[in-house]
Structure 1
Amino acid sequence: MMRIAGGTVVTPAGRLDADVLVSGGRIAGLVSREVETGDQVVDATGKLVLPGMVDVHVHTREPGFTHKEDILTTTRQAAAGGVTTIFGMPNLDPPTTTAETLQDVLSRYAATSIVDYNHNPAATLTDQVPKMAEMGIRAYKVYMVVDTGRTYPHPAGTGMHDHGDLLRMMDTIAATGKRFIVHPHDQALMDYIEGRYLESGENTPQAYAQAYAEREGVIWDTAIDVVLRLAEASGCPVHLAHMQTRRSVDAVRRAKARGVDVTCEVNHWMPFLSRWEHVERLGPYALSYWVPDDAREAVWDGMRDGTIDIAASDHAPHTREEKEIGWTRMWSSHTGTPGIQYFYPLLLNAALSGQITLERVVEMAAEVPARKFGLPQKGALLPGRDADIVIADPDAPWTITDADVLSRVGWTPYAGVTCGVRVDRTFVRGVEVYGEGQVVGHPGHGQQA
């Protein structure tokens, strides 16, 4: 039996000065310091003992785009960043839209994933939805967006915009009991807004950032209003990606008060990479999206009060070549940024600095995604749960560098950022997968969650 001793354990009931016992891949108990048991002792004195992050929004790029990333490199970063379960996304080649393509992806995870996993197939073919539900998935995904000036990262076969189609799909998914992840986007409004910028010759990172945030984020707000109303009409559990506007936070808050089964997420770039200074300094390497200051504060408020209930990385790596074109032709650059290796430490650092409580960070990163996405064995340090455990040092400042990046793309937008919390060790079902600055987990250790 393994004993993690001397740390501050963060549980759903709060912080405990207790030791964690692990046996057979599960948490056997939480005991006082005085109880003497355990033949293998892991010293966590002065450190935080946390549940591993359950990241429901991860782009592994496999199959089809493995020049950017693959499952092995993604899960190496996950282990280093305290992420013990990932849910992959369907914008692959071929896109995950059928039971056949889903089986291929799940087989790839089984062969090479270091951490536990699941996958969110695209819900665009009604007859495939029940078949994929029977394969143990926890959620479906759809994009309400079409790329302008490029064919990726939102490839054909993964999008849905017609409201009737969305309602039909929600009715279909509701019958499975699974959750429907939606990338909200009003494409008709975006076509008009983008067109005005492009017609005037504005194709810079600054123009792109302004276009997507234009009129206080109208393209996001109108789409989210539609999704919430259709979710209410269908009874389908929905999950909203990319929360970033004041009105969207208010809309979700009101929907929850009405009893709508909605969850929503904040991604790594919103709290840590969405300021105008990032757009100016990093250009295409910062985009994803720009969030104006008042909207960012509204999102932080939503994180603090539980309206925004899930932290998900939206890990989205692209090569330097795919980014560099964006300095002069941003609408041709692939958008998205790598983040899974650093999101949990940065959130913990935000708690250390008083921006949010440690308990809320753990709820968003582990407890709520596990509960809302049907993983009762994950997400909390409680007896009987999987021993997915992170030991983090809250007094170990370190500086993020490109040299430490485990992603295949070899860069991070956080290079030069100092973080006050360091992940020391990560365990997946009681097996150490990261420790002493090295990934020690073996490919194929991960299991479908």
Structure 2
Amino acid sequence: MTPDLLLKGGLLLDPETGATRRADVLIRDGRIARIAPDLDAAGVPVYDASGKMLSPGWMDMHVHLREPGFEHKETIETGCRAAAFGGFTAVACMPNTNPPIDTPEVVAFIRERAEATPVDVYPIACVSVGRNGAALTGAVLAGLDALAGAGAVAFSDDGSPVQSSALMRQALEAAARLDRPIINHMEDMTAGPKGHMNEGAVSRRLGIRPVPALSEEMMIARDLLLCELTGGPLHVAHLSTAKGAALVRLAKARGLPVTAEVCTHHVTLTDEAVAASGCDPNTKMHPPLRTAADVAALKEALRDGTLDALCTDHAPHAPEEKAAPFEEAPFGILGLETAWGLTGRELIAPGVLSVAEAVYKLTVAPRRILRLPVPRLAEGEAANLTVFDATTRWTFEERHIRSKSRNTPFVGWEMIGRAWAIYNKGQLVTNEG
């Protein structure tokens, strides 16, 4: 614990206004006691933030912590360790655990397990009992009222997209009443056989069974119609196609209560990475890597505000699981440790987003989507902050991985921008190595 701390010489960033000011931050008993230039506090540990920026703590609203049930892949402790390295003081975890997050007891378990970590963990509970949304018939709505009461911030069946339109309508009606978003994995499973990479020239060349972009776009279109009918808040998870972004843009223009996120890997890699890597399973994710045209459209959708939040879909798998042939390996890659370096490389350095805009999509936007309070760098507030820069060039190496798993295609990549430290819940975590 580091209840008292003096951060010296940092540039404070307000992501809502873009305003910056150079000042020291004095923390007492985990709260911001004073913000001013040239502070001194006898006996208080000092963190030298010279040449670095400070912002409200970042949040990743789409991660997989795997606990309970899949602790060989990740635990709440190791996932939070990865989050802290990546600059995140908060994460929202998906319900594909065993048992799934479909009862208040599992929500309570996750919240209790996360109490000692420096990262706030917000459970996303199931839409259906048993996370059975992929079933066209027989899926039953979970007890959303009780789950919300226990602390669930949203509802999703995640990798089991809600196939039944009737069930999704019920979920959105409940979401409107509870003011909690429904987060759907946008894939119409009836649009084609279960595939392993994006449908297109690369999948045909490699002879790999594809996932059509149409399956994502059809589900987005259906859910937007149901959103309009019910008024329930809808959040589009890990959007990956140009047409999907266009659909969300149109829905927002019509005033629908819809928000959307994009993963850092979907604005970095294309389906050509599968071929270039020799079909490395670390390039296999769900939704899959799309085309260069899709990547360009996603960047434009980030720039114009169609895509509200940046996330990672951090999905750890044990090494022996990812060592299988491409079509047999599970979907998913790590994301927490590389999120900011990829954001700097692919979005800030090329001028797609300013530093303030990128930080907004990692701080304010995810919390507002999930109806959570946004931390502020202000005297009297609980200290919840990230120390970072957007210019340091560094090579991501395996030693930087804090996750229990190792499944990432980015080892050896040059990153731009580092998350140097977080402070939250009276704890300082530094990443100087």
Q: 1:142 and 2:157 equivalent?
A: yes
Partner of 2:366: 369
Aligned counterparts of 2:300 and 2:71: Cα–Cα separation in 1: 37
Equivalent residue, structure 2, for 1:131? 146
Superposed CA offset, 1:365-409 (max 9, x none): 11111222122143x434454322222244432211123212212
Please tell me whether the aligned partners of residues 75 and 114 of structure 1 are also in contact (alpha carbons under 8 angstroms): yes
Cα deviation code 1:60-91 (max 9, x no counterpart): 11111111111111111111110100111100
- Aligned pairs for 1:341-420 (under 5 A) are 341-349=337-345, 350-378=347-375, 380-420=376-416
Range moving further from structure 2, 113-122 or 267-276: 267-276
Highest relative contact order (Cα 8 Å, sep 6+), 1 or 2? 1
| Aligned residue in 2 for 1:102 | 107
Aligned pair in 2 of structure 1 residues 206, 5: CA closer, same or farther (>3 Å)?
farther
Contact persistence 1:10–1:16 (CA under 8 A): yes
> Corresponding residue for 1:441?
none
1:249-286 Cα distance to aligned partner (Å, 9 max, x none): 11111111111111111112201233413543153111
Task: Tell me how far 1:435 sits from its aligned partner.
Answer: 4.2
**Partner SS for 1:221:** helix
Distance across 2 between alignment mates of 1:180 and 1:386 = 29
Note if 1:274 corresponds to 2:249: no
TM-score (norm 1): 0.84
42 and 402 in structure 1: CA distance in 2 versus 1, 3 angstrom threshold: closer
Name the structure 1 match of 2:333.
337
Distance 1:13 1:296, change over 3 A: same
CA contact (8 A) 1:78 1:84 kept: yes
Going from structure 1 to structure 2, the CA distance change for 1:238 and 1:82 (only over 3 Å counts) comes to same
1:194 & 1:362 partners in 2: Cα distance? 34
Q: Does 1:82 align with 2:87?
A: yes
> Following the alignment from structure 2 to structure 1, what is the Cα–Cα distance between the partners of residues 300 and 73?
34
Describe the superposition over 1:134-183 as per-residue Cα deviations: whole angstroms up to 9, x where unpaired.
Answer: 1122111124xxxxxxxxxx4xxx55211011101111222111111111
CA distance in 2 between partners of 1:99 and 1:273 (Å): 38
Distance change (3 Å), C-alpha of 1:38 and 1:25 = same
Aligned counterparts of 1:360 and 1:353: Cα–Cα separation in 2: 13
Say if 1:377 and 1:360 are closer, same or farther in 2 by CA, change over 3 A.
Answer: closer
Helix, strand or coil: the match of 1:50?
strand
Deviations 1:393-434 (A, max 9, x none): 444322111232122123431101011322222111452023
Counterpart of 1:46 in 2: which secondary structure?
Answer: coil
Equivalent residue, structure 2, for 1:440:
none
Q: CA, structure 1 residues 190+108, in 2 after alignment: closer, same or farther (shift >3 Å)? A: farther
1:196-215 pair list within 5 angstroms: 206-208=206-208, 211-212=210-211, 214=212
Between the aligned residues of both structures, percent identity stands at 28
Answer yes or no: is the 8 Å Cα contact 1:274–1:286 preserved in 2.
no
Higher mean C-alpha deviation, range 236-245 or range 427-436 = 427-436
Change (3 A) 1:285 1:43: same
Return 13-22 or 132-141, whichever deviates more.
13-22
Are positions 1:284 and 2:286 aligned together?
A: no
Structure 1 residue 206, shift from structure 2 partner: 4.5
Q: What is the number of residues matched between the two proteins?
A: 408
2:135 counterpart residue number: none
Paired with 1:410 and 1:109, the residues of 2 have a C-alpha distance of 22
What is the deviation of 1:207?
Answer: 4.7
* Unpaired stretches in structure 1, ≥5 consecutive residues: 144-153, 438-449
Give the match for residue 172 of structure 1: 174
1:401–1:412 contact (8 Å) kept in structure 2: no
| Residues 2-57 of structure 1, C-alpha deviations (whole Å, 9 max, x = no match) | 442322221022131222343443344543x26x4545443212212122211111
Preserved contact between residue 244 and residue 291 of structure 1 (Cα < 8 Å): yes
Task: State the one-letter code of the partner of 1:131.
Answer: A
The 2-side partners of 1:357 and 1:124 are apart by 39
**Worse-matched range after superposition: 276-285 or 359-368:** 276-285
Structure 1 residues 248, 385: CA separation in 2 closer, same or farther (over 3 Å shift)? farther
Which one-letter code corresponds to 1:48 in the other structure? M
Match in the other structure for 1:311: 310
Aligned to 1:444: none
Gaps of 5+ in 2: 130-140
In structure 1, what is the Cα distance between the partners aligned to 2:35 and 2:26? 6
CA RMSD of aligned residues (A): 2.6
Structure 1 residue 258 corresponds to structure 2 residue 251: no
What is the TM-score with the length of structure 2 in the denominator? 0.87
Cα distance, 1:275–1:15 mapped onto 2, change above 3 Å? farther
Measure how far apart 1:312 and its partner are. Answer: 1.2
Q: Check whether the contact 1:405–1:411 (CA below 8 A) recurs between aligned residues.
A: no
